[in-house]
């Protein structure tokens, strides 16, 4: 199974690209969704409310993620400390679940596992990827798109400040896609690269099948038996 990492700039179209690749047959392993689930574990809730107070809870008794974002996204020292504390609770649990899903994808026969981790390089997950694709867009385009998320420019800046610069992500990736045109253009670009992967995987499968079906050769010598 191939592990394909996907990264990008906040609101640059990474999730849109991941969704399309999942439709093509990749098993999408979404670290954001996994982390959201981990955030609602009883022991995590207990430790977060012990540090930040019960005002962090919704009426249903779950963690209010918008309030958490206000506490951890930013460049001042207090928010950096809050982020480090949050990550110490959520990241180990997220790692365990990502590994479990990778194993399950291989066992279920998926040819490609799509590893969608926002901090892919920072957390070292890039070392487990066979290839990494980066999807990004200009700031002007992203400022248009964040309106659908209810973000403003300050929120975009806060989230970018907690990630590796997009220039570094592009440099470290195998494929870079600029998502500044239409959705159809992005899909065409993704489909072209996906078909390249499919051809490569098919070739590997044929070689493996040929190796398994080749008859075992025995060496025969004229050396007399003793």
Is residue 224, in this structure, part of any structural domain at all?
Answer: no
Q: 96-151: per-residue pLDDT in tens? A: 999 999 999 999 999 999 999 989 999 999 999 999 999 999 999 999 898 888 88
Q: What DSSP element (H or E) covers 175?
A: strand 175-178
pLDDT at 10 over 80: yes
Mean pLDDT value across residues 27-52: 95
Per-residue pLDDT at 207: 74
Is residue 85, in this structure, part of any structural domain at all?
Answer: yes
Phi, psi of 174 (to 5 degrees): -80, -35
Per-residue pLDDT at 193: 95
- CATH number of the domain residue 152 falls in: 3.40.50.300
d(CA 18, CA 184): 14
Is residue 13, in this structure, part of any structural domain at all?
Answer: yes
Query: How many domains, the chain?
Result: 1
Is residue 219, in this structure, part of any structural domain at all?
Answer: no
Write out the residue range of the structural domain in which residue 73 sits. Answer: 2-213
Confidence (pTM): 0.84
- Structural tokens at position 42: 């009883």
Is residue 160, in this structure, part of any structural domain at all?
Answer: yes
Per-residue pLDDT at 201: 81
Buried (b) or exposed (e) across 27-63, using 16+ Cβ within 10 A? bbbbbeebbeebbeeeebbeebeeebeeebbeeeeeb
Is residue 80, in this structure, part of any structural domain at all?
Answer: yes
Is residue 42, in this structure, part of any structural domain at all?
Answer: yes
Residue 1, classed as helix, strand or coil, is coil
CA atoms within 13 A on the CB side of 158: 16
């Amino acid at each position: 199974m191939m592990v394909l990492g996907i990264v990008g700039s906040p609101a640059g179209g990474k999730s849109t690209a991941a969704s399309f690749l999942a439709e093509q047959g990749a098993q999408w392993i979404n670290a954001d969704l996994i982390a959201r689930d981990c955030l609602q574990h009883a022991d995590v809730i207990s430790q977060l409310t012990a540090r930040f107070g019960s005002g962090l809870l919704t009426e249903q008794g779950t963690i209010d993620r918008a309030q958490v974002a206000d506490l951890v996204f930013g460049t001042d020292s207090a928010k950096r400390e809050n982020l480090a504390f949050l990550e110490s609770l959520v990241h180990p649990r997220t790692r365990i679940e990502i590994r479990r899903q990778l194993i399950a994808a291989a066992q279920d026969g998926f040819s490609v596992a799509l590893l969608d981790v926002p901090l892919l390089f920072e957390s070292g997950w890039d070392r487990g990827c066979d290839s990494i694709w980066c999807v990004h867009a200009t700031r002007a385009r992203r400022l248009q798109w964040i309106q659908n998320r209810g973000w403003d420019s300050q929120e975009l800046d806060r989230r970018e400040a907690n990630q590796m610069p997009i220039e570094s992500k592009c440099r470290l990736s195998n494929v870079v896609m600029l998502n500044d045109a239409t959705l159809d253009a992005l899909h065409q670009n993704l489909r072209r690269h996906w078909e390249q992967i499919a051809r490569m995987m098919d070739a590997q499968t044929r070689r493996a099948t040929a190796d398994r079906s080749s008859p075992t050769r025995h060496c025969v010598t004229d050396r007399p038996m003793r």
